[in-house]
């Protein structure tokens, strides 16, 4: 049975579906990854360097994200009354627990994004322990 907010058989909506009559919904995600990136070779706007050296420029770029970028975004989201999904890397949560907790306390959704930047599909069963670590970190910082 179709109601006023359900698309008809041709996929055309006959009325509002989303809250407050919104006709479009935008999903916003915010990454919390700083500190979990590899010492060298992480993606960034910096030119790549020889992988045998630590990439200090990229490290500083990521540090800016958690020191300045994420707090500014959180303030802007508060002003605009926007809630986002924050994809958190477990190692970043361990390094910045206060920021992770603040994200959740401000009403945003926390999402697991691995323990490190290691490709999880290629992990051995021993390394799959990371999944449990990420879940434990989220539970710890969500206050559950």
Q: How far apart are CA 141 and CA 26, in angstroms?
A: 27
The tally of CA atoms less than 13 A away on the side-chain side of residue 15 is 7
pLDDT tens profile 66-76: 899 999 999 99
**Cα angle, residue 46 at apex, residues 42 and 95 outer, rounded to 5°:** 45
**What does the domain layout of the chain look like in residue ranges?**
28-142
* Angle between helical axes of 97-105 and 129-142 (0-180°, round to 10): 60
Check residue 81 and give left, alpha or beta (phi > 0: left; psi -120 to 50: alpha): left
Mean pLDDT score, 34-47: 83
Q: How far apart are CA 73 and CA 53, in angstroms?
A: 32
Q: Name the CATH topology of 28-142.
A: TIM Barrel (3.20.20)
Residue 44 — pLDDT band, cuts 50, 70, 90? confident
Per-residue pLDDT at 3 exceeds 50: no
Asked if 41 and 54 count as a contact pair (C-beta separation under 8 A), the reply is no
Length in residues, the chain: 144
Q: What is the CA radius of gyration of the chain?
A: 19
Whole-model pTM: value is 0.70
Which of the two residues, 22 and 77, has the higher pLDDT score?
Answer: 77
Asked if 34 and 90 count as a contact pair (C-beta separation under 8 A), the reply is no
* Angle between helical axes of 97-105 and 70-80 (0-180°, round to 10): 10
């Amino acid at each position: 049975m179709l109601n006023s907010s359900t698309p008809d058989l041709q996929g055309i909506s006959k009325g509002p579906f989303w809250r407050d009559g919104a006709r479009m919904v935008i999903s916003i995600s915010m990454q919390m990854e700083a500190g979990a990136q590899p010492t060298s070779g992480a993606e960034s706007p910096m030119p790549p360097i020889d992988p045998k050296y630590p990439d200090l420029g990229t490290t500083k770029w990521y540090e800016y994200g958690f020191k300045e970028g994420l707090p500014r975004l959180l303030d802007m989201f508060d002003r605009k009354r926007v809630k986002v999904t924050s994809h958190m890397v477990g190692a970043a949560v361990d390094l910045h627990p206060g920021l992770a907790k603040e994200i959740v306390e401000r009403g945003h959704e926390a999402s697991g994004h691995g323990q490190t930047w290691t490709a999880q599909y290629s992990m051995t069963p021993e390394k799959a322990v990371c999944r449990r670590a990420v879940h434990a970190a989220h539970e710890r910082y969500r206050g559950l």
